[in-house]
Amino acid sequence: MGVNLLLGLQWGDEGKGKIVDVLTKDYDIIARFQGGPNAGHTLEFDGIKHVLHTIPSGIFHDKALNLVGNGVVIDPVIFKKELDNLEKFNLDYHSKLLISRKAHLILPTHRILDAVSEAAKGKAKIGSTLKGIGPTYMDKTGRNGIRVGDLELSDWKERYRALANKHEAMIDFYDAKIEYDLEELEKEFFIAIDTLKSLTFIDSEAYLHEAQRSGKTILAEGAQGSLLDIDFGTYPFVTSSNTTAAGACTGLGIAPNQIKEVFGIFKAYTTRVGSGPFPTELFDEDGETMGRVGNEFGATTGRSRRCGWLDLVALKYAVHVNGVTQLMMMKGDVLSGFNTLKICTAYKYQGKEITHFPYSIEPENVEPVYTEMKGWKEDLTKMSDESEFPDTLNAYIKFLEKELETPITIVSVGPDRKQTIHR
Ligand code: GDP
Ligand code: IMO
Ligand code: MG
């Protein structure tokens, strides 16, 4: 049977939530493998838009079980808010949600540390979502973290206190002063912990191993995107986890030889939130149009996303690093009306033309080289079959398939579940 992976190939927000929701009917288990509430995954159906941060995007289906894997970092406070939202839709999440005992917890002081660390960086700030992601993964790799399974131990509150005290000393170390009321934050945190404890904690790697043995179908859901990967992204302007395919192995305990299909999702153009280099970024009317038509505002922070042309150098790199077997192209509808579409096929790197993704893509090193293609005028959002596609869209798709040597099996033409065309 094996495990299929679904992950973002750009700087996040490619539409992972939407596609996981579309695919869930074919799976028994949807398992999130990394990241935390820095993610915002949007799903739309029956005229309602849902945004999930930690909960896997299969939660709205009756059949599938949803697992929050060991590679995920959980903020109990945000998690509780997500659960409260589900209750509004009469959704019985208790029967469909499983939490790995090995997932790490984001403490209130992790969030504050994130804020003071960013403030101290000044102009060099990462543009973090300020959800405490970096400090929590630092405590994980520093072997100081508190895990979900610890909540079942009698001394966990003492361990919490010791870590929070240490964090307070670290916060004081920074010059940047941030007002906070830890007592208030802790009150909210401990209430949320009680809610978290009402869910089922499991040894998820054993559970997934057994699921594989008994022929269950598993889809692993990634967060962020390959260019935000801690190793392969545009460091230091990245997140603190492995967002690429290997992250699914460590984030769930899945063996590499069990991975079958790797679904790579990309937008027909490019966006990025937060700081960091972005060679094809547009500062003109075209970029403004993409942002407006594509409604490019962060699902977690509401910040406007920077927009630009599709970057094939970066996309090819992501296809290789992840071993993508099928591509899914999102938001082609947003490009309707452009006379000409540009695709970056190479970089001018320190005077030479290159097609691989180099160590640094800072503007002083890299200038994009573009190929131009004819755009399409047609509104794609009402289309339900590939046969309705304008020739220029078909040419765009064919060009990308050839360059990336990978088939595009889904073309998404709008945010709704139904606006999904299988090829
Ligand atoms: P994720 O983080 O990868 O799950 O993506 P986000 O939810 O952060 O951002 C994707 C945004 O694009 C959401 O607002 C989606 O509703 C929307 N979206 C997804 N697919 C399409 C599409 O094909 N066309 C349009 N216009 N919007 C889409
Ligand atoms: P989804 O799963 C887009 C970006 C932040 C910042 C950098 C580091 O919705 O695609 P962090 O809070 O992780 O320390 O921020 O990463 N970032 C995202 N950008 N989509 C996301 O998730 C992101 N998660 C983090 O904007 O630049
Ligand atoms: Mg998002």
Q: What is the pLDDT of residues 261-270, one digit of tens each?
A: 999 999 999 9
Ligand nearest to the Cα of 296, by number = 1
DSSP-assigned states of every residue in 390-409: -HHHHHHHHHHHHHHTS-EE
Q: Which two tokens stand for residue 155?
A: 């001394």
Interatomic CA distance for residues 288 and 272, integer angstroms: 14
Interatomic CA distance for residues 279 and 283, integer angstroms: 12
Protein residues placing their CB within 5 Å of the ion ligand 3: 13, 40, 299
Q: Which amino acid is at 40?
A: G
Q: Which two tokens stand for residue 81?
A: 């808010």
Q: With a 6 A CB cut-off, is 35 part of the ligand 1 pocket? A: no
Bridge partners, residue 418, by sequence: none
Per-residue model confidence as pLDDT tens for the chain (423 residues): 789 999 999 999 999 999 999 999 999 999 999 999 999 999 999 999 999 999 999 999 999 999 999 999 999 999 999 999 999 999 999 999 999 999 999 999 999 999 999 999 999 999 999 999 999 999 999 999 999 999 999 999 999 999 999 999 999 999 887 899 999 999 999 999 999 999 999 999 999 999 999 999 999 999 999 999 999 999 999 999 999 999 999 999 999 999 999 999 999 999 999 999 999 999 999 999 999 999 999 888 889 999 999 999 999 999 999 999 999 999 999 999 999 999 999 999 988 999 999 999 999 989 999 999 999 999 999 999 999 999 999 999 999 999 999 999 999 999 999 999 999
To the nearest 10°, report the CA torsion of 81, 83, 85, 90: -160
Interatomic CA distance for residues 95 and 98, integer angstroms: 8
Segment 95-114, tens digit of pLDDT: 999 999 999 999 999 999 99
Cβ-contact 190, 151 below 8 angstroms? no
Segment 209-229, tens digit of pLDDT: 999 999 999 999 999 999 999
Residues at CB less than 6 angstroms from ligand 2: 8, 11-13, 35, 38-41, 126-129, 131, 133-134, 223-225, 228, 239, 273-274, 299
Atom of ligand 2 nearest to the CA of 303: 26
To the nearest 10°, report the CA torsion of 396, 288, 233, 102: -100
